[in-house]
Amino acid sequence: MSKARRERGGGDGARTLRLQELIREEVNYLLRNEVRDPRLDGVEITMVELSGDASRARLWFTCEGDEDRAPAFERVAGFIRTSIADNLGLKRTPELRFRRDPTSREFSALSPISPGRT
């Protein structure tokens, strides 16, 4: 691959997709089994987007309620990043940025259909 293409963020798309999925699975495992912050109970990572050079990762999450989860994610980001590096064997681990999945708010705004009504 040419240097210019690498600088534009082009690369092995299959590898990037695989790494994004591995990070998503690992962070979900950590949130369920290792992170002990009650503010993150029930949070699930739905998608990971890596920057072209894989130095940053945006992690989209869903959760119940409207509570701001940013302080909780800031508190555990270092632990999650270190665990990703150790568990996935990465030489360079991306900086993690957590964002609420906008579709989760759209779905939570919809009222549930009452049982028995169609």
CATH tag, 3-109: 3.30.300.20
pLDDT band per the 50, 70, 90 thresholds, residue 6 = very low
d(CA 47, CA 23): 9
Q: Is the pLDDT of residue 1 over 50?
A: no
- This prediction has a pTM of 0.78
Tens digits of residue pLDDT in 20-76: 999 999 999 999 999 999 999 999 999 999 999 999 999 999 998 888 999 999 999
How would you classify residue 108: left for phi > 0, otherwise alpha for psi between -120 and 50, otherwise beta? Answer: alpha
